[in-house]
Structure 1
Amino acid sequence: MKELDSEHKGETLLKKTGRVLLSLIMTMSLLLSACSGKTGSDASGETSTRDGAVRLSVLAPQNEAIEKLQTNRFSKYIEEKLDIQFAWETTPGGAYNDKKQLVLASGDYPAVILDAGVSKADQIKYGKIGAFIPLNDLIEQHAPNIKKALAEVDGLKEAATSPDGNIYAIPKINECLHCTYNQRVWINTVWLDKLGLDMPTTTDEFYEVLKAFKEKDPNGNGKADEVPFTTTPDEWGGGVDAFLMNAFIYNDASKYLSVKDGKVIYSAAQPEWREGLEYLHRLYQEGLIDKGAFTQNGDAVKQLANKPDSSVGVVGYAIITGGVKYPRNKDYAVLPPLKGPNGVQLAGYSAGIRQSDFVITNKATEEEKIAAIRLADYLYSEEGTILTSYGFEGDGWKKAESSQLDYNGQQAKYDVLPPASQTNGSVTLADTWWQLGTMQMLNSIRESFVAPEDPLAEGDGPREYRFWLAAKEYEPFTNLDVVYPGSVNFKPEDALTISQIERTLTDYVDSSMAQFITGNKDISKDWDSYIGGFKGLQLEKYLKVHQDAYDEWRASQ
């Protein structure tokens, strides 16, 4: 679910004009920075290089949680290791996408773009005009780690390769079991125990548990202040539909595509979707779903769940926050997928290969092209992946002792260390890139870390292990036959078509879903009109493109 439209109809012309002027000012500021090729004081400004080092101009977002890329220890380590010298052009993460689009439009962009997040349509677009260069030969000649991964990692070659056969951008591999099964919910087991309730296994049992949470005062304060179920579209894996709809029909919670007997279907236009909406409407109508679930952000959920009196029964998103600030997270356990009235019991599934994030542009000289692909290849190495994710040995991790076991009960390879603190007690800024650009984080690497004795203990190690254990509860409910694969390839003209149609479709589904659930639309009266609305949104064409691509993908398997 996406955030509902919050525009106030009675807004004054003055307010509207003010917003327009502010938007224009911000846009002009970005345009000016794009034309200059730099962004304020974050721009590197370096013009000289060390003897023999290749100067490499790079556009990247500056994550506020890590040390500045210009002085970051990992940046300096890479420069020494690969004999390069970065010339950074950085922009705060929140403005990065706008900055990226502006520099590409202006033609004033650097040799390398990190966290490019380019879709197949963008790869075709910029590859066709020559802005993004083909990387095939560079990978073959200078990138053994990437070459090996393309041959061995399932779906990577398809994800990386454009319809014209070229690789214009290197995908970021981020396999992790809890990322694969991120459409999760967490249930308050303290409340279950107090009320003598079992963990629900069906949608009917879930309804009864929520009713008990609402009516039987599980927090014991004598007030009717309990919120049975809350979520937010603002958090990863969140949204009212993300978990619950999978008890009726497969829901990827983003594109709403699925497969039935080899035919690509739009889940949000099926009769089973209507059944799911009717169930969700019942929950909402009876006060079992938080009214803020469609519009609130993650901070609002955390504040609600951590009131002095325990107030939330079920939290619906992937990561339940812990730490000293949110101690009540230990009251919650993951709720496995529920079985619906027709026996459907599925887990949402997301492949571990993200959008292609590492681009080399036509601004790079031959020497810079080689330096850039060697950088990408190093980030694809196990060392590069560990350092960009966890920091340096002795800081973020250490080698495991011979007696320590990993997630699968085998000899562990790494052990996570808690971050060092400054004298004032605050955590120091991370000397990592925090997975910037690209990497090859495989499940085998994540699972080679020490399995903590207590997954509810504080720290990154226990936290990661807790989420891995949670995902294990979802893994048995995977049915890849109904999941539309993320590694299909589209023809160039089709890729552009679907990117234009897709946003309109998802906006329509999200808006309609919220209205059906809250009762602003009557499912019995307005469903046919909702289905009819897809005709004007080119759903039939959208499905045909996906079917053709799916058929080609199946034939190649």
Structure 2
Amino acid sequence: MNTRKLLIILSAVIMLLSMMLAGCTSGRKDSGSTPSGETDEQAVEASQKEVEVSFPLVEKLNLKMVGVPHGNVKKDYNEMSLFQQLEKDTNVHVDWNLITSDGAREKINLMFATNDLPDAFFGPETTSSVTADKTQQLIPLNDLIDKYAPNFSKILEENEGLRDRITNQDGNIYSLPMMEDNVAETIPSAMFINKKWLDELGLALPTTTDEFYNVLQAFKDGDPNKNGKSDEIPFSFLVSHGIQGPDSLALSFGGRLPSGHMYLEDGKVVYAPIQDNNKDYYMWLNKLYREKLIDQEIFTHNADVYKAKVSGETVGAFFAWTENWAFTKDNPDYVPLLPLKGPNGQQGWNNQINQVNREAFSITVANEHPEATLAWADQFYSEEISIGATNGTVGVVLKKEGDKYVYNPIPEGMDSIAFRFDNAPGYYAPRWISQERFRKVEFNTNLQEKVNLVDMYKPYTKDVSFTYPTLSLEDEERVKQWGTDVSAKNAFYEKSLAKIVMGDTPEKALEDMVAGLKKLGADEITAIYQKYLDQ
């Protein structure tokens, strides 16, 4: 190749490289100017310009969300009038992935592990702020709340300390909360007994644990339903259930087993199952079970089977939210029972305080429209949609009269629960029901009964409720593992309880349970909570 040709080739290469470099430089954000003459500062300011969100959106926005519906929900959310109206008002369409509570945590953890994320998680217990801190898969909502959530911002202003309660240890908010300051929620459980059977056998309402034992024996042996068969179930419940479980009766024996098993006593955090004062209660359950006075399926039947037994009127005594829950109407054959006095004259009933659930709505990094998504979620914090999501869609289940919300007639062939949950998600939604909002809603039959039951049991309660604090990442991880071992996947407590209640050596089984819970870290967990309480 001659020198002239080589120079031509080299010149062409140099020119080409110069053009490429110029093009790259002119397109870089850190250059001194842009092709349009815009400075770096102007470009950054433009990129940070606030996105405007005005509903209904001009163009339909499609989002993917994961939700865990309440057990009473039988429909897809998009078939509910509340979500249909919300889509009409906002022009936001949601493709729902609704997963049942059984195994929900495992499925959601897999989504995070594989980074197969929806745009948002809807409802309580769907996400964890710890995950956001460790993997940055949830976006901080702090600035977005101030700009795109006027309803929730107003709630923050009106509720001192709420911002701190929903803020993570790193200073960020990753989830919108939900709260229902509902007097009906303060005493979840009530005990009912078959008055018709008592009358048939000539027995009075029992007032002590001894009298109750005698009644159960009569229910078992006396054929109170008069069908000539030994098919009566004297006493049934759901094990370790805060509403349909029997643990309020621990107070009759000097013990205490509140829902969640943590409580405060003289400023100290106490984990109930390892306390000596619950031994007599556990032994009493064993006695009733072994004498077949307790439903022999308490450790195997589920909520649907339990309700079928109760509503079929084959059960003598049971626990429930209300009688209306069991029979969908007033049933004069069953009456509520006051707390029983134990061997030493003690009696009491479990209660709880209404707590803020920090995890009710979270947005993931997969979401390309976080501003509009948060503005959509903010609708649930308005008075009308909060009330509608909780009690049934306004305009369908409820109607507004002045500043009150009253119930429309229930369609023929439906009950109040089906009417409500066919139209709205109920408890498992981001929402805010203050006492003021709660009292604006007409009390339906079920709620009025519940308020009456709260008034009946309240004199027998003692406020020992434990407010769960915001934990550090390390402590949160430890508490989560404890929950997995004891209550969730591994269910050590319930498995141990089965051995105590059903076994031939209940005292040994109780000793083993206490030792096992301590080995799993019961004292460590209470110390973690105590640390934050002391702070």
Q: 1:313 — aligned with what?
A: 316
* Root mean square deviation of aligned Cα: 3.4
Q: Check whether the contact 2:67–2:126 (CA below 8 A) recurs between aligned residues.
A: no
Q: Is the 8 A contact 1:114 1:359 kept in 2?
A: yes
Q: Which residue does 2:404 correspond to in 1?
A: 413
Describe how 1:299-310 pairs up with structure 2 within 5 A.
299-307=304-312, 310=313
Q: What TM-score, normalized by structure 1, do the two folds share?
A: 0.74
User: Could you report, residue by residue, the CA deviation over 1:69-111 in whole angstroms, capped at 9, with x for unpaired residues?
Assistant: 44654334323434x4224242454676555333322223233
Report the CA distance shift for 1:196/1:380 in structure 2 as closer, same or farther (over 3 A). Answer: farther
In the alignment, what sits opposite 1:395? 396
Pair 1:445-2:437 in alignment: yes
Match of 1:522 in 2: 506
For residues 226 and 75 of structure 2, the distance between their equivalents in structure 1, rounded to whole angstroms, comes to 46
- 2:249: which partner in 1? 244
Alpha-carbon distance in 2 for matches of 1:216, 1:291 = 19
Q: Following the alignment from structure 1 to structure 2, what is the Cα–Cα distance between the partners of residues 548 and 350?
A: 21
1:483–1:434 Cα change, 3 Å:
closer
After superposition, residues 358-437 of structure 1 pair within 5 angstroms as: 358-365=361-368, 368-400=369-401, 413-420=404-411, 430-434=422-426, 437=429
Distance 1:304 1:104 in 2: 40
Matched residue SS, 1:399 = strand
- 1:212-223 pair list within 5 angstroms: 212-223=218-229
Structure 1 residue 433, shift from structure 2 partner: 4.2
Of 137, 140, 144, the residue aligned with 2:143 is 137
Distance 1:237 1:517 in 2: 20
What amino acid is the match of 1:90? Answer: N
What is residue 7 of structure 2 aligned with on the other side? none
Query: Structure 2: where are the runs of 5+ without partners?
Result: 1-54
What is the DSSP-based 3-state SS (H/G/I as helix, E as strand, rest coil) of the residue aligned with 2:297? Answer: helix
Is 1:336 aligned to 2:338, yes or no?
Answer: yes
Match of 1:543 in 2: 526
| Residue of structure 1 in register with 2:278 after alignment | 273
Higher radius of gyration, 1 or 2: 2
Is the contact between residue 67 and residue 432 of structure 1 (CA under 8 Å) also seen in structure 2? Answer: no
1:32-51 superposed matches below 5 A: none
Are residues 395 and 186 of structure 1, via their aligned partners in 2, closer, same or farther at CA, if it must alter by over 3 Å?
same
2:470 maps to what in 1?
489
Q: What corresponds to 1:290 in structure 2?
A: 295
By how many angstroms is 1:532 displaced? Answer: 2.8
Query: Residue type matched to 1:371 in 2?
Result: A
The separation in 2 between residues aligned to 1:127 and 1:385, in whole angstroms, is 29
Q: Would the aligned equivalents of 2:479 and 2:525 in 1 still touch at CA under 8 Å?
A: yes
How far off is 1:54 after superposition? 6.3
Percent sequence identity over matched residues? Answer: 27
The question of whether the paired residues in 1 share the 8 Å contact of 2:248 and 2:348 is answered with no
8 Å CA contact 1:349–1:478 kept in 2: the answer is: no
Are the aligned partners of 1:258 and 1:483 in contact in 2 as well (CA < 8 Å)?
Answer: yes
Contact 1:236 1:319 in 2 (8 A): no
Paired with 2:413 and 2:434, the residues of 1 have a C-alpha distance of 32
CA apart distance, 1:428: 11
Distance in 2 between residues matched to 1:299 and 1:87, nearest whole Å: 30
Q: Identify if the C-alpha distance between structure 1 residues 76 and 529 changes in structure 2 by more than 3 Å, giving closer, same or farther.
A: closer
Q: Residues 540 and 133 from structure 1, CA distance in 2 versus in 1: closer, same or farther, beyond 3 angstroms?
A: same
Structure 2: distance between partners of 1:207 and 1:103 = 50
Give the distance between the partners of 1:485 and 1:145, measured in 2 at CA.
25
Tell me the TM-score normalized by structure 2: 0.77
Which residue is equivalent to 2:497? 513
Aligned partners of 2:138 and 2:364 also within 8 Å? yes
Does 511-520 or 71-80 show the bigger shift? 71-80
- Residue 268 of structure 2 aligns to which amino acid in structure 1? K
Question: Is the deviation greater in 536-545 or in 328-337?
Answer: 328-337
The answer to whether the Cα contact below 8 Å between 1:380 and 1:440 also exists between their aligned partners in 2 is yes
CA–CA separation in structure 1 for the residues paired with 2:509 and 2:388? 54
SS state of the match for residue 236, structure 2? strand
Retained in 2: the 8 A contact 1:61–1:92? yes
Report the Cα distance in structure 2 between the residues aligned to 1:140 and 1:428, rounded to whole angstroms.
Answer: 32
| Structure 1 match to 2:134 | 128
How far does residue 501 in structure 1 lie from its aligned partner after superposition? 1.7
Offset, 1:117: 1.5
Cα displacement string for residues 488-537 of structure 1 (whole angstroms, at most 9, x for unaligned residues): 122221111111123323433222222112234331x4544443333421
- Conserved 8 A contact 1:61-1:96: no
How far apart are the structure 2 equivalents of 1:75 and 1:529? 50
- Distance in 2 separating the partners of 1:329 and 1:400: 31
2:421 and 2:272 map into 1 onto residues whose CA distance is: 43
Q: 1:322 to 1:164 in 2, by over 3 A?
A: closer
| CA-to-aligned-CA distance 1:291-311 (integer Å, 9 cap, x gap) | 11221123333443355xx53
Aligned residues: 470
Helix, strand or coil for the counterpart of 2:125?
Answer: strand
Structure 1 segments unaligned to the other structure (5+ residues): 1-48, 402-411, 452-460, 553-557
Matches of 2:391 and 2:269, distance apart in 1: 40
Give, as a single letter, the amino acid of the residue that structure 1 aligns with 2:449.
Answer: R
Match of 1:102 among 107, 110, 113: 110
* Cα distance in structure 2, aligned partners of 1:429 and 1:491: 37
Q: Matched residue of 1:117: which SS? A: coil
Partners of 2:341 and 2:204 lie apart in 1 by 15
Query: Partners of 1:422 and 1:539 in 2: how far apart?
Result: 49
What amino acid is the match of 2:210? D
Which residue, 149, 156, 161 being the options, matches 1:150? 156
Q: Equivalents in 2 of 1:353, 1:223: separation in Å?
A: 49
Instruction: Find the partner of 1:165 among 171, 180, 187.
Output: 171
Distance 1:234 1:321 in 2: 22
Paired position in structure 2 for 1:406: none
**Contact 2:191/2:317 (CA < 8 Å) preserved in 1?**
yes
Q: Relative to structure 1, is the Cα distance of residues 191 and 429 closer, same or farther in structure 2, using a 3 angstrom cutoff?
A: closer
Q: How far apart, CA to CA, are the structure 1 residues paired with 2:298 and 2:524?
A: 33
| Inter-partner Cα distance in structure 2 for 1:106 and 1:56 | 22
**Superposed displacement of residue 478, structure 1:** 3.0
Go from structure 1 to structure 2 and tell me whether the alpha carbon gap of 1:216 and 1:158 turns closer, same or farther (over 3 Å shift): farther
Structure 2 CA distance for aligned equivalents of residues 534 and 392 of structure 1: 45
The secondary structure found in structure 1 opposite 2:270 is strand
- Following TM superposition, by how much is the alpha carbon of 1:315 offset from its aligned partner in structure 2, in angstroms? 1.2
Rounded to whole Å, the distance in 2 between the matches of 1:222 and 1:70 is 50
Name which of structure 1's ranges 150-159 and 128-137 shifts more when overlaid on structure 2: 150-159
SS at match of 2:378: helix
Of the structure 1 ranges 492-501 and 354-363, higher mean CA displacement relative to structure 2 is found in: 354-363
SS of match in other structure, 1:57: strand
Q: Could you say what secondary structure the match of 1:81 adopts?
A: helix
From 111, 115, 121, give the equivalent of 2:123: 115
Deviation at 1:67, TM superposition (A): 5.5
Output the CA distance in 1 between the equivalents of 2:413 and 2:275: 55
Counterpart residue type for residue 528 of structure 2: V
* 8 A contact 1:175–1:441 mirrored in 2: yes
Give yes or no for the alignment of 1:58 onto 2:64: yes
CA distance 1:277–1:382, change in 2 (3 Å): same
1:180 touches 1:351 (CA, 8 Å); kept in 2?
A: yes
Alpha carbons 2:392, 2:420 under 8 Å: kept: no
Partner of 2:209: 203
Q: In 1, distance between residues paired with 2:518 and 2:75?
A: 50
Q: Once the 2 structures are TM-superposed, how far is the Cα of residue 229 of structure 1 from its aligned partner?
A: 0.7
Contact 1:69 1:88 in 2 (8 A): no
Matching of residue 228 in structure 1 with residue 251 in structure 2? no
Separation in 1, partners of 2:186, 2:240? 18
